[in-house]
A = this chain, B = another copy of it.
Amino acid sequence: MEDPFPASVIPFAVSEGASAAEVVERMAGTAFQARNLGQAAHIWDAMLRDEVTIFFGLAGAMVPGGMRPVVTYLIENRLIDCLVCTGANLFHDLYECLGHRHWQGRPGADDVELARRRVYRFYDTLAVEHDFTIGERFVTDFCLTLDPEHRYTTREFFELVGRALIPVAKQEGILTAAARHGVPIYCPAVGDSVFGLCLAEARHRNGQTVTFDIIRDVLEMTWIATQARATGVVYIGGGTPKNFVQQSAVACYIFGREKPGHSYGVQITMDEPDWGGLSGCTFEEAQSWRKIAPEASFVTVRSEATIALPLIVSALAEGSAEAIRQRRRPALSFEGLAE
């Protein structure tokens, strides 16, 4: 009897000493979310081999969750070209760059007691207010160096934060690596974070007003999408980073161009489509909006990102090592985009 379908499930063979790349490759032959995880590595690998500008949308408490070096690796080795991020992850990155640590706690802790001890909890992870305050002071002091007459894109702002961090950083992080390697960072809700609080304090107490040009952020993102031969996206969680990257594809009409949407898509998320929100929406749904191209390759991995992301990136570090070394992407440029 002829095979009725193009590919059979290849049950997962256990072997001693298997590498991350081998494990992920075996997962690709199985089913359910393991197959999706394997596919995610395949699609990311395809992006690295194609001439694609890769947007990376990062939500969730990934830095407190131990993912700073993973994202740093993505920047340093240019597995991504542009980062869109929550303010929280960037503040926690700064906090770790300054040498402070997150601590292992547990979900059922006595939070009123933690508050009394001035310890902050993120699920099973802790940070000490005293260290946090040192980070906040760094931000506030940094803000006082900014030009009150200038309207900053969040890209400019975080590049300057990164540059200010480099001389004092105890270890490399997202902000420092991005500044060094010319990878732009956008933060669509910068006010909604410790940065916002520090800026509010600098303004109220020190009379230092920092102005953001958030519409220029939108134009720049759209410009990147418009100029690229093709674009791909990797989303960790949903929120503003996902939406901000999504909308960049569809807005190319602003520059008089019609683009088909992003050509590659990977999302790692626990959000579900069934509640109707953007965070959990499928790439198929995004196709109706022309945010994702009709012919795009994409996959959604329903896994918590601290599991799926380091596993996939470890697999790529081995399995796509040559493609990573060969990939030469120029720094993104905004030449031609009017002020």
Binding site for B on A (CB under 8 A): 1, 4-23, 26-27, 29-35, 37, 59-61, 64-70, 73, 88, 96, 101-105, 107-109, 111-112, 114-115, 119-126, 128, 130, 151, 188-193, 196-197, 199-201, 203-205, 209-215, 217-219, 222, 237, 239-240, 243-244, 247, 250-251, 253-255, 270-279, 281, 284-290, 294, 302-308, 310-311, 313-314, 317-318, 321, 338
Q: How far is the CB of A238 from chain B (nearest CB, A)?
A: 8
A272 to B214, CA, bound (A): 30
A207 to B142, CA, bound (A): 32
Q: How far is the CB of A314 from chain B (nearest CB, A)?
A: 5
Q: Which of B16, B64, B203 contacts A31 (CB 8 A)?
A: B64
Are B14 and A313 neighbours in the complex by a CB distance under 8 Å?
yes
Are A13 and B104 neighbours in the complex by a CB distance under 8 Å?
no
Q: Which residues of B contact A270 (CB under 8 A)?
A: 272, 275
Q: Which residues of B contact A29 (CB under 8 A)?
A: 66
Nearest 9 pairs of A and B residues by beta carbon: A30-B66, A34-B306, A189-B189, A5-B103, A33-B304, A191-B214, A114-B288, A188-B192, A111-B288
Are A304 and B303 neighbours in the complex by a CB distance under 8 Å?
yes
Are B211 and A27 neighbours in the complex by a CB distance under 8 Å?
no
Q: Which residues of B contact A66 (CB under 8 A)?
A: 9-12, 29-31, 34-35
Q: Which of B70, B119, B151, B281 contacts A14 (CB 8 A)?
A: B70
A278 to B91, CA, bound (A): 14
Q: How far is the CB of A44 from chain B (nearest CB, A)?
A: 14
Are A294 and B18 neighbours in the complex by a CB distance under 8 Å?
no
Are B271 and A123 neighbours in the complex by a CB distance under 8 Å?
no
Are A276 and B200 neighbours in the complex by a CB distance under 8 Å?
no
Are A104 and B8 neighbours in the complex by a CB distance under 8 Å?
yes
Are B32 and A276 neighbours in the complex by a CB distance under 8 Å?
yes
Are A69 and B306 neighbours in the complex by a CB distance under 8 Å?
no
